[in-house]
Every structure is written in C-alpha cells, then in structure tokens.
C-alpha cells in the first residue's frame, strides 16, 4: 500500500490560515483554506494567505476542497485559491451562506461548484471517503472532517469544544466519533489553541447569566461588542434582552450582514418585537436598549472605535452607557482595545470586561476536552495543529501523560508532510510552503523587500536627493534638491545634505558624471553619511537622478 | 490661606511618565520625572517624555525634584529636564546610584545637585516639608513622598505593595504612614495599576518556591528572563541557585550593569562561589547553570531575543534548556514576546510561563492593599494615578464602596490641577501639558505631521516623481522620473504614472510652467490619481521638481 500524506500548508505552529492537503495516490483534497491577520511588522498588509505553490504544482490531483466552518481562519483565503483552480467546494449549507458574499466580491460564483455537505453527510472523492461530523464551537454548523484512507480515518477535529448546553441545542456527534474510533482513526489533527487551560471550558450558555445580570442592573443602554460571526452570542443577547424588556439593535456592517443571513436561514431566532433599527433607538428610554456592535478587536474603522472617538454618525455614546466586552483580545490587538476601552471610560461608560459572572467564554476545547476527543476517537497518531509551538508543546506533554509514546505524537509544521504508511509514520521532506501577504488593494505578494523598506520608512522617514544630469556632457544641471518625509531631524542637516552632495558631485570627473549609476551611488552615499553625521539619523535615502 | 495645587504633568490616566507638580505660594516641587514607551502608532519613537512647558513657565518657583524610586517611568525623563533647569534632585542613595549612568550619558553630572533623601529622611523646601517613607515594591528603596502643606499632607503612594516578607527584609513603614494619618493627610495620590485585581497580592518571596521547583526538576540549564531592574528577583535566583547547586551568570548589558551596581552597594548579596562569567558557563554541565537574561518584553536587541534567532554570539540556546518567563507582558509587547517564546519552543526549550507555582508576582498593590493604604493614612481626598482610566474608574468604585463620598474622589487627568483649599477641593483649568516624543537619535519633538507621514509611508510606501524645470523659459527639461519605495503595486502602474505626468505637463501653458508651485501641485495630483486608478493604492506622492 502507498503512503497517505497529510501536509499542512498553514495552521501548524500558528493560529490562522488553516489549510491542509491530504493525498492518497492521485487523489488530493484540501481541508480548509483560511487566512491569518498581519502582525505589527507587516506594514500595509491587509491579510495573509497560504502560499498555494504546492497546490498548483499538483492541481491535476486536487479533487475537492472541504471547509469545517465559516471562520475566516478556515475559509478566508478561498477566493484567492478558487481564482486559480476550479474544484468543488464541500461544506454545510450554513457555511456556504456565510462565505457567499466574500466569494462574490472577487469571483463569478456561477462558475463555482459549491456542494452541500451537512453534518452527518458523507461523500466519495476518488479513492478517498470524506465524512462531516458535527461538533460544538462558537459558530453554527462546525464539523470535524474525517478522511477515509487505506490506513484508516485521518480525522480533522476542526475548532471545537464539547458544550453540552449549546445555544442552538445541537450537540457534538459523540456517537459517530466513538464509532470512528472503533473503525480505526490512524491520525487525529487536533485543535490545540487552549492546551494551556486546565479543566473543562464553560458552556456558551454561561454567558446568558452574565448578560442577565448586566441587563437588569445597568441604569442605561447596554452595548455589547463581540466578533461579528458569533451568532450564538447574538442569540443570547436577543433572548436575555427579550426576557428583561430591552430591545436590540445592531451597529456595524459585518454584524448586520451576519444577523440578516442567519435570521433568514433560521440560525438566529429573533423574539417578537425585540429587534429595532439603529435610528429608532432614540425613541426609547436608554434602559430599554441593547446595542450589539463590532469593534471587539479595536479595529479603527469599526462602529465601537468610531463611537469612542465621537466619529460614528449613526449613534453617540452617552454617559451612563454600559459596554460588555464579550470577546477575547487576539494577541497584538491589546493596545488598540485598551485605548478604546479607556476612551469609553473617560466618556462616562461603565465597561464590563472581567466580570465575576462570565460575559465571554472560549469556543475552543480546554485540556480535559482535548483528552476527551482523544479518548473518544482513540487515534494511533496525534498531530496537534491550530496552535502556536507553545500550544503544540503543551498538547504533546498532555498526550505523554495519557500514555502516548513520543514517536506517535507529531508536532506539525507548515510544509512538512506527515507520511503515513502501513506500519509507521514520519515527517517527510518539506514541500513549497509559506505565507503570501495581500495588501490593502487586494494585491497578493507584498515582498520582504517592500516590508523592509516600509519598516525603514516608518522608523526613520525618507530623504530624497534630486539631481539633474546632462549625461552626454558629463555635467550637473542646476542645483541639488533635497526633500524629506517622516524625517524628525533638523532642517539644517537637510541643507547641509544638499551642500555635501553638491561638493561631492563637483569633485567627480567628467567620465564619472557620464555614468548615471555611479552618480546615483555617490549621491546616496554622501547623503547617508551627512544624515548620520549631522542628524544622527538613518533615513532611507533615495537619489532621484534625472537624465536631461 | 492660599490654594495648594497638585498638577499631574504625566502618569494620570496612563501608566508611564509619572511627573507631578505640587505648588504652594511661590514654592513648587516635582515628584518623579518619568518616561513612557511609545505605542505601536508612534513610528520611530524611542521614548515619550512629559511636556515641560508648564515647568519652564514656572521655573522661578521650582525648588526641588523628588524621586520615589528608580524605575524608568518615574526617573527616565530626568536628563531631559535637568538639561533645562538646575535644581536639587532628592532621592535615596540607591536610586541616585541607579540613575547615575543615564544622567552621565546626557549631562555633566558635576554641575548637578544630587541630594540624598533616604527612607525616613525629611527636608524643608521653602514653605513645604517633604518626607520619604519606605514602602515595598519590585525595586529597593521605594518610598512614598509626603509633602507637608498648609492644608495637611499631600501623600504620593508611589508604586507600592504591602509585602510582609520582602526579599531584602525591609518592611513598609506602616507606623509612619499611620502617624501621617493622625497628623492629617489631605490628599492621597495612589497607585491604581492593579485596581482590577481582587484580594491581596502574593509576596515576592513566593517566587522562590517556583524557582526552586524548576531548578531541581530542569534537566539542563535554566534561563530566567525578567526586568533588568528587578533586583529582588535576581537575588532570589542567586539564593535558590546556591541552594540547589547551580551557578549563575548574566546575559544582557543592562542586567550586568544593575548587578554590578547593586552588588557593590550591598543591595544584592551574591552567595560565595555562585556567580560566574558567561564565557565560563561552557566549562560546567548544563544542569549546574542558571542564566539571567534581558528580553522579557521581546525587545529586538535584547540577549534573549537574539538567542532565539541564533544571533547572540556570547551564548547559544541548547535543546533541553528551560526558560522561566519571570515577568508580565507590558500591553503592546505581547506579539513580540510570544514570537520569542514560540521560537524557543521550536528550538527545544521548555518555557515555563504560567506555572502552578508562581514564577512572577506583581510589584503593585491589589485591591485589599489599596484599601489598606487608605485605611492607614485616612486621606480626606483620594486621587488615583498611575493607572489608565479603567483602573482609575475601578479605584473610584472601590473607594465608593468604602464609604467615600463621590466629591472626595478625583479622577486625575494630566494637566488638570487639583486645587486644594481649606474647606474644599476641585479640578482647575488645564495647564500646558502633553507628551514629547523622542526619536532614536535622542531628538525631542517628533511632530504629529512626521508621525502621520511615517504611518502613510509604512502602509502604502512612497512614489517620487522627478521633473526638471527651466523656469525662465517655462519648459520641462528631459523626461519624467518615477521612483518608488515600499510600494506593493505593479511596475506598469509606475510607468503609466510617468506618462500621465508627462501628458499633464505637456498640456500646461508656458506661464503655468513658470510657476513651480503650480507644477509641483500638478505633478502630485496627477500621480496620485494614476496610482489610485492603475494600482488601487494611495502611496505618499512626493513631487521632486528641480529648477535648472
């Protein structure tokens, strides 16, 4: 029998851009095609997507794409891949509905093969069998993806938790998971995000108690900020508002879209007479209102952040408002979030962000839940993914404590194939893999050189030295121009820079002045030295040498 | 009787750059002259210091400066102020020793009046009396500063906690604090950083147990990263290393300096035969070693971060090393810290960052300690400082619960004087106040315009359009040059940009071409339109128009 290869193209050793290939013979499928968000060093980058080189090199093998759930880190890069390959995309009805807008922005969706694979469904793709199994998570219709191979099931846990009182009442399909275990799971690719957290995570339903307490005690309006895709959270806000006699409105485009799609499809039940438009809120007394808003990550253009700066035209903050911060800061966003929270406190808002009664719970499995998934499915090999190295490391330690031998636990790395044979498995040679940076205009492929220049520009600014050159006669025409942007030094240094360059050029021979590259180099070098000497700064220096 | 004014020039509604003026009649003193660190939007900014305009406007009144302790957020801006005013600086012998290096880098210290005011000392400054009272904190010789005014004591809590088992055995002077209360504290300016944390903070001594556990269990070297100024932490590492048969070395210039000063002055007791040089560590087996290192905030040039990138020449990470992360991330540094930790995990290091036994405790008072300070000193007015608005808000709520009436609690804001009269107090009109940004070369005064340009440069790059103009004859000489830096669009758009500008200039009248500003405007406007149209990007456009 041949090898089954499991190749993470993203999502292994990081949180974000989940994308994994499974290959058996000439059949390849992808599980998830997600994006991640730029870190603070990636200037001018909007999103980060996987490098699809390996997929394109094997495009003849690629038979289908499967999506576990509708979060951006599992589906967000799909438009960029479907732009290059046309294969069927299998996922639940709900997930299809949630991603449709984004696909339509970039592609002609009529040309796409969007196939429904609801929880419990199974489909054959060449020699592979793919089954979708419901698990609980912070978005509806989240599913494990089980890939039937000749060596047994390769099971993708997806993002999951075991919530016995989920808001939509739809429990994880533990029955099917145990049967998979009976049939033989050769490898479990498991969520490991919360491997740091001991015990069992609280149910999403716990949040209702926190909401209830705030809704009944708050003297004025209650604002709630959460992720725009957190439909369960919105449902609870609606239910508790209804129970406590408040009306609910929404501020923020993405949240409005989600609410619209989900209520139309029946994934969100809006209690009678509970929802009102934002411009109708002024007709009601403040203590009768709940407003759901985007901005939980401190995004500059979000409704909440604009409100905190008094720049949101559709609604104004009032002293006496209460804000429930019903989310968790994504690392890197902390400063922006706290700046927003502090501005709100200054405006007289009472912000509830760390209440004794929880106003947020995680959608990811804690340690005992991760162990439960192992216990249910009894995989031969374990491969923690959807976690940074620290999470993968702790998952490994946890599995060792459960008695797993070291050689059956694989710390997956993007681009390193896990090659599963009949009697053993090992990490194979790396395949082409990496990250592709997409700029604010949607252009994929911001280079490292561009990032380096941007970092340099950001920290020290730029000095532009302009020289006009009569190349034929080897003469400098006119004077030397110096412009600066983002430069924090003194103006005298800029004037001296022009003088230094002028002196340097005057000392060149005619033949040297006929060599544009040489002149350019002389100008840049002289200007740089002047900046260091006279301003103690190292701005980027651009010699703009014009041949006239 | 006249008003006593307490004016925070920094540190109120923020964590950092603590600096407060106290004025009675013609006598003004400053308590602390600290710096803060730039947020992620302050490109190319090294440190942030208070705006000293108000001090300079009242320099004839300024009689002395008092420093509570040697942390940067309380002393770091001193060189910048002493450059402009020469007044005596009172603080403990220890704090003087700690700040001396930094002062010497910028100033001739022989011209300065550095006066010793040890815990327990008292000095008269004009009509004011100033007393230093010992409290426990994460650095030795931390003191409250009590300022005796005609309306009673104005008490600066400084950063503090009530630690009954401090590492150096020097307890907070509760006796003197209660007597101050007896004598009458009119206003307490209290630390509020940990107002979110219920209960009473653990003693610094708790960390020894965590260290002991790791030192005895770790199979190889133990690295510890903490703040370079955390002398108590270093003491505990030395003591536990001695007890467990390990030797201690230090990696990182600032930590070496601290260790040197503190051991010379007797603030750090190095057990016999425990300390070794870094280059001697290779002679010992790994399990006999502890290495203290800088880099707890993920600083790019720190020893730990360089080790994690295999760029630190003096020492290399080995698989089997254990790192104790003995610090707390300062908000904004999280991503850089986790990147470092993840790199270390990948290199085979076991990182202990959230142990059941603590490996770090806070140096700031928790809620019950904050209440204890109030109970001991019984101030008439409360003014939470050294906290963001969220912390000040929670401190206020805490004080309300203790029975303080609302009008006796002041949420201090930088630049708003608290004006204390005989029978009442209120916030007066703002004085000149703000932040001054210091660039990497030490230049104070990076402007908002420079920051805006840097932000723009960082996100979208720059396009430079060069044109040579014969102004006298109203003619363009030669062609149009286009250069770009940090630009992520396509090259075709840059070529089109040159063409668009050329066409635009060709259509100008001779008189228009004789107007350099008009040409500059035309070039910039045309180039900008072309970039939006052809590249969907908005780089900064600089028209470099050379008059020849």
Q: What is the DSSP string of B525-545?
A: HHHHHHHHHHHS---EEEEEE
Query: Maximum distance among all alpha carbons in chain A?
Result: 87
Same domain, A341 and A212: yes
C-alpha–C-alpha distance, residues A112 and B114, integer Å: 76
Residues of A in contact with B539 (CB under 8 A): none
| Confidence (pLDDT) at B354 | 79
Residue B42 and residue B436 in contact, taking contact as beta carbons nearer than 8 Å: no
SS3 A457: helix
Cα–Cα distance list, A312 to A205, A294, A322 (Å): 32, 12, 17
| Confidence (pLDDT) at A101 | 87
Q: Answer whether residue A495 is part of any domain.
A: yes
- Residue B256: count other Cβ atoms within 10 Å of its Cβ: 18
Beta bridge partners of A291: A223, A249
Tally A–B CB contacts below 8 A.
Answer: 211
The single residue listed with the structure tokens 């104004």 is A316
Sheet order of strands, B350-352 included: B247-251, B289-293, B222-225, B322-325, B350-352
C-alpha–C-alpha distance, residues B440 and B494, integer Å: 33
Q: Which residue of B has its CA nearest to A480?
A: B546
pLDDT band at B172 (very low <50, low <70, confident <90, very high): very high
Q: List pLDDT tens digits, range A171-182.
A: 999 999 999 999
Residues of A in contact with B335 (CB under 8 A): 39-40, 331-332
Buried b (16+ CB within 10 A) or exposed e, A123-155: bebeebebbbbbbbbbbbbbbbbbbbbebbbbb
Question: Which of B345, B540, B545 lies nearest to residue A485, judging by beta carbons?
Answer: B540
Residue A304 and residue A223 in contact, taking contact as beta carbons nearer than 8 Å: yes
**What is the number of domains present in chain A?**
3
Q: Which residue of A has its CA nearest to B348?
A: A393
Same domain, B24 and B140: yes
- Model confidence at A52: pLDDT above 80: yes
Structural tokens at position B174: 């509760």
Same domain, A52 and A112: yes
- CA dihedral (B174, B176, B180, B183) in degrees, to 10, reads 130
pLDDT band at A356 (very low <50, low <70, confident <90, very high): confident
- Model confidence at B195: pLDDT above 70: yes
Report which of A311, A169, A146 is spatially closest to residue A235, judged by C-alpha positions.
A169
How large is the average pLDDT for residues A523-539?
A: 95
User: Would you call B191 a catalytic residue per the annotation?
Assistant: yes
Same domain, A371 and A311: no
Q: Answer whether residue A357 is part of any domain.
A: no
Q: Do B350 and A466 touch (CB under 8 A)?
A: no
Structural tokens at position A243: 């129970």
Report which of B296, B164, B298 is spatially closest to residue B229, judged by C-alpha positions.
B296
Same domain, B160 and B266: no
Give the pTM.
0.91
Q: Which of A16, A48, A319, A389 to mutate to test the interface with B (most CBs of B within 10 A)?
A: A389
Same domain, B390 and B531: no
- For A482, which DSSP code? E
| Confidence (pLDDT) at A5 | 98
Sign (positive/negative) of CA torsion B476, B481, B486, B490? positive
How confident is the prediction for chain B on average, in pLDDT?
95
> What is the CA A396 to chain-centroid distance, rounded?
25
Q: Answer whether residue B275 is part of any domain.
A: yes
Q: Which residue of B has its CA nearest to A413?
A: B346
How large is the average pLDDT for residues A256-267?
A: 94
SS3 B23: strand
| Confidence (pLDDT) at B102 | 87
| Confidence (pLDDT) at B478 | 87
Q: Do A466 and B546 touch (CB under 8 A)?
A: yes
Residue B137 and residue B69 in contact, taking contact as beta carbons nearer than 8 Å: yes
Residue A449 and residue A505 in contact, taking contact as beta carbons nearer than 8 Å: no
pLDDT band at A1 (very low <50, low <70, confident <90, very high): low
Same domain, B78 and B184: yes
State which of B312, B330, B352 marks the end of a domain: B352
Q: Answer whether residue B442 is part of any domain.
A: no
Same domain, B347 and B375: no
Q: Answer whether residue B186 is part of any domain.
A: yes
| Half-sphere exposure for B519 (CA within 13 Å, toward CB) | 26
Question: Which of A440, A446, A468 lies nearest to residue B478, judging by beta carbons?
Answer: A468
The H or E element containing residue A489 is none
Report which of B27, B21, B38, B34 is spatially closest to residue B451, judged by C-alpha positions.
B38
Residues of B in contact with A40 (CB under 8 A): 40, 335-336
Q: Do B388 and A446 touch (CB under 8 A)?
A: no
C-alpha–C-alpha distance, residues B292 and B222, integer Å: 9
Kindly report the CATH number assigned to the domain that includes residue B348: 3.40.50.10710
Same domain, B102 and B247: no
Q: Do A458 and B462 touch (CB under 8 A)?
A: no
Same domain, A156 and A23: yes
Buried b (16+ CB within 10 A) or exposed e, A208-242: bebbbbbbeebebbbbbbbbbbbbbbbbbbbbbbb
Q: Answer whether residue A16 is part of any domain.
A: yes
Structural tokens at position A442: 């949607």
- For B396, which DSSP code? H
Distance of residue A263 Cα from the nearest chain B Cα, in angstroms = 35
Q: List pLDDT tens digits, range A191-234.
A: 999 999 999 999 999 999 999 999 999 999 999 999 999 999 99
Residues of B in contact with A346 (CB under 8 A): 13, 389
Could you list the active site residues of A?
Answer: 191, 364
Q: Answer whether residue A248 is part of any domain.
A: yes
Distance of residue A322 Cα from the nearest chain B Cα, in angstroms = 13
With residues binned 3-state (H G I as helix, E B as strand, rest as coil), the percentages for chain A, rounded to 5, are 35, 25, 40
Give the domain extent around B216: 206-352
C-alpha–C-alpha distance, residues A337 and A323, integer Å: 13
| Confidence (pLDDT) at A526 | 97
SS3 A122: strand
Structural tokens at position A500: 């230094």
How confident is the prediction for chain A on average, in pLDDT?
95
C-alpha–C-alpha distance, residues B196 and A339, integer Å: 16
Q: Are strands A222-225 and A289-293 parallel, antiparallel or unpaired?
A: parallel
Q: Do B458 and A457 touch (CB under 8 A)?
A: yes
C-alpha–C-alpha distance, residues B51 and B30, integer Å: 13
Residue A70 and residue A267 in contact, taking contact as beta carbons nearer than 8 Å: no
Q: Answer whether residue B441 is part of any domain.
A: no
Same domain, A271 and A174: no
Distance of residue B476 Cα from the nearest chain A Cα, in angstroms = 10
Residues of A in contact with B481 (CB under 8 A): 544-546
pLDDT band at B440 (very low <50, low <70, confident <90, very high): confident
Q: Are strands A322-325 and A350-352 parallel, antiparallel or unpaired?
A: parallel
Q: Do A466 and B544 touch (CB under 8 A)?
A: yes
Q: Do A454 and B458 touch (CB under 8 A)?
A: yes
Q: List pLDDT tens digits, range B70-118.
A: 999 999 999 999 999 999 999 999 999 999 988 998 898 888 999 999 9
Cα–Cα distance list, A451 to A439, A462, B461 (Å): 11, 15, 9
Q: List pLDDT tens digits, range A370-379.
A: 999 999 999 9
C-alpha–C-alpha distance, residues B272 and B540, integer Å: 61
Kindly report the CATH number assigned to the domain that includes residue A476: 3.10.20.580
Q: Are strands B62-66 and B27-31 parallel, antiparallel or unpaired?
A: parallel
Residues of A in contact with B545 (CB under 8 A): 481
C-alpha–C-alpha distance, residues A255 and B541, integer Å: 36
ipTM of the complex: 0.88
Same domain, B411 and B327: no
Question: Which of A389, A481, A540 lies nearest to residue B544, judging by beta carbons?
Answer: A481
Q: Do B345 and A453 touch (CB under 8 A)?
A: no
Enumerate the H helices of B193-243 as residue ranges.
206-217, 231-243
SS3 B407: helix
| Confidence (pLDDT) at B1 | 62
Q: List pLDDT tens digits, range B333-381.
A: 888 999 999 999 999 999 999 777 899 999 999 999 999 999 999 999 9
State which of A419, A439, A459 marks the end of a domain: A439
State which of A352, A380, A411 marks the end of a domain: A352
- Model confidence at A462: pLDDT above 90: yes
Residues of B in contact with A43 (CB under 8 A): 458-459, 486
- Model confidence at A300: pLDDT above 80: yes
Distance of residue A71 Cα from the nearest chain B Cα, in angstroms = 22
Q: Are strands A19-24 and A381-385 parallel, antiparallel or unpaired?
A: unpaired
Q: What is the CA radius of gyration of chain B?
A: 28
Beta bridge partners of B481: B466
- Residue A533: count other Cβ atoms within 10 Å of its Cβ: 12
Enumerate the H helices of B295-412 as residue ranges.
303-308, 334-346, 367-377, 389-401
SS3 A322: strand
């Amino acid at each position: 029998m041949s090898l089954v290869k499991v190749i993470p193209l993203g999502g292994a050793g990081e949180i974000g851009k989940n994308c994994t290939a499974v290959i058996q013979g000439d059949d390849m499928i992808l599980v998830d095609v997600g994006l991640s968000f730029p870190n603070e060093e990636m200037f001018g980058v909007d999103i980060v997507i996987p490098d699809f080189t390996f997929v394109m090199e094997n495009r003849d093998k690629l038979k289908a794409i499967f999506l576990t759930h509708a979060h951006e880190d599992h589906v967000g890069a799909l438009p960029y891949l479907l732009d290059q390959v046309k294969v069927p995309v299998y996922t639940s009805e709900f997930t299809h509905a949630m991603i449709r807008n984004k696909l339509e922005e970039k592609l002609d969706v009529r040309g796409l093969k969007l196939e429904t694979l609801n929880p419990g469904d199974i489909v054959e793709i060449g020699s592979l069998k793919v089954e979708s199994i419901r698990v609980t998570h912070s978005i509806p219709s989240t599913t494990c993806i089980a890939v039937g191979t000749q060596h047994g099931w390769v099971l993708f846990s997806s993002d999951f938790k075991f919530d016995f009182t989920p808001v939509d009442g739809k429990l994880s399909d533990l029955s099917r998971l145990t049967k998979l275990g009976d049939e033989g799971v050769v490898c479990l690719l498991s969520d490991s995000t919360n491997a740091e957290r001991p015990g069992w995570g609280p149910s999403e339903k716990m949040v209702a108690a926190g909401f209830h307490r705030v809704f009944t005690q708050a003297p004025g309006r209650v604002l709630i900020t959460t992720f725009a895709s957190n439909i369960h959270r919105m449902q609870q806000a609606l239910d508790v508002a209804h129970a406590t006699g408040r009306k609910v409105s929404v501020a923020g485009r993405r949240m409005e879209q989600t609410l619209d799609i989900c209520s139309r499809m029946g994934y969100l039940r809006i209690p009678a007479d509970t929802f009102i438009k934002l411009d109708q809120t002024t007709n009601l007394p403040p203590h009768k209102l709940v407003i759901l808003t985007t901005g939980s990550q401190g995004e500059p253009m979000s409704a909440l952040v604009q409100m905190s700066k008094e720049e949101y035209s559709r609604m104004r903050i009032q002293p006496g408002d209460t804000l429930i911060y019903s989310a968790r800061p994504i690392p890197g966003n902390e400063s922006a979030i706290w700046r927003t929270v502090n501005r709100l406190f200054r405006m007289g808002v009472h912000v509830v962000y760390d209440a004794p009664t929880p106003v947020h719970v995680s959608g990811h499995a804690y340690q005992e839940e991760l162990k439960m998934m192992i216990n249910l499915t009894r995989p031969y090999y374990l491969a923690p993914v959807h976690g940074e190295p620290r999470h993968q490391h702790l998952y490994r330690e946890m599995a060792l404590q459960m008695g797993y031998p070291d050689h059956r636990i694989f710390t997956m790395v993007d681009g390193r194939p896990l090659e599963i044979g009949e009697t053993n498995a090992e990490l194979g040679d790396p395949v082409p893999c990496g990250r592709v940076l997409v700029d604010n205009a949607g252009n994929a492929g911001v280079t490292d050189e561009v990032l380096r220049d941007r970092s340099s520009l950001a920290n020290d600014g730029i000095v532009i030295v302009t020289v006009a050159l009569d190349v034929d006669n080897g003469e400098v025409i006119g004077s030397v121009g110096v412009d600066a942007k983002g430069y924090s030094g003194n103006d005298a240094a800029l004037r001296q820079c022009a003088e230094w360059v002028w002196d340097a050029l005057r000392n060149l021979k005619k033949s040297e002045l006929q060599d544009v590259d040489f002149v350019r180099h002389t100008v840049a070098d002289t200007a740089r030295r002047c900046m260091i000497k006279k301003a103690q700064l190292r701005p980027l220096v651009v010699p703009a040498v014009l041949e006239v």
